[in-house]
Amino acid sequence: MAALHRHQLVRLTEAGWKAVVAGEWDAQARGCLQHWSTHGLPLVVTRQNAGAVGADTIAVGLPAPACWGRRRLALRVPRDAVLAQHEFPGIDQLPAMFRGAPRAALRALDDALRTSHATAHVFGSYGWQLLTGLDHVRAGSDVDLWVAVDDAAQADVVAALFGSFMADRAGATSRLRLDGELVFRDGSAVAWREWAAWRAGTSRAAVVKRLEGVSLHREADWCAVSQGMVA
C-alpha cells in the first residue's frame, strides 16, 4: 500500500465493505454505507493518529449527501481492505457543474493553473457530487480545491491566481467562492488565504496541516524543504 496523504481517496475490497456494513450502525448510516458498498464508491483519508505509520488500520471518512442527512461517518479499516488509492476529480471536470460566467471563469482558472504547472483537484461538496452524482452541494457551497505545489514560489503564484479569481468575481450576481489548500510535496498544506496573508506579512504565522495533525509556523523553512509528495 502506497503512502497516504490528506484528501486522498481509497476504494475497499468486497470483503472490506462487507465488514464495514456489518458494523454497529443505525439504519440511516447503514443505508448510506450499503449504497457506497454496492456502487463501489470511495472513502476519504482523514487525520491519522500520531505515530500511526505502519499501523494495521487507517482512519477514513464518508461525508453523506443530503438524502442521508449530510452526516459525517468516521471509520477505521484494515490496510489490507484497501483495493486502490486515487485522487479527487481534477479541476477540468468542475466547469460542467456551472453555466454562463462561472463556467467561463473556472475554465480560465484551470488554464491559468496549467500554465503555472500546478495540479488542482476538487474536493469538498463539489468533489463528492462529481464522484457520486448525489446531492452533496447546497446553496452557498464553496468550491474547494487542493493544489499541488513544488515550493513557496509556486504557492505564491497559485494564491495570486485564486485572489485574482475572487476579485474578478466580487461584483458578480452569482456567488462563487474558492476555498482550499496549497499542498507541498511532503503533504504539508496551508489554506490559500492564510498563505497569502502570511506571505504579505498581515499574519504572523501559518497554520500547517499534515496527515497526523496541525502546527503553527512563523518561518518558511518547513516549505523550503518539502518534498516527496506525488500529485
**Cα-flanking dihedrals φ and ψ of residue 62, to 5°?**
-145, 110
End-to-end CA distance of the chain: 16
Half-sphere exposure of residue 206: CA atoms within 13 angstroms, side-chain side:
27
| Cell of residue 230, nine digits | 506525488
d(CA 166, CA 170): 6
| Cell of residue 10, nine digits | 481509497
Q: Catalytic residue positions?
A: 142, 144
DSSP H helical segments within the chain, as ranges?
Answer: 14-21, 27-38, 100-115, 124-132, 152-169, 192-200, 221-224
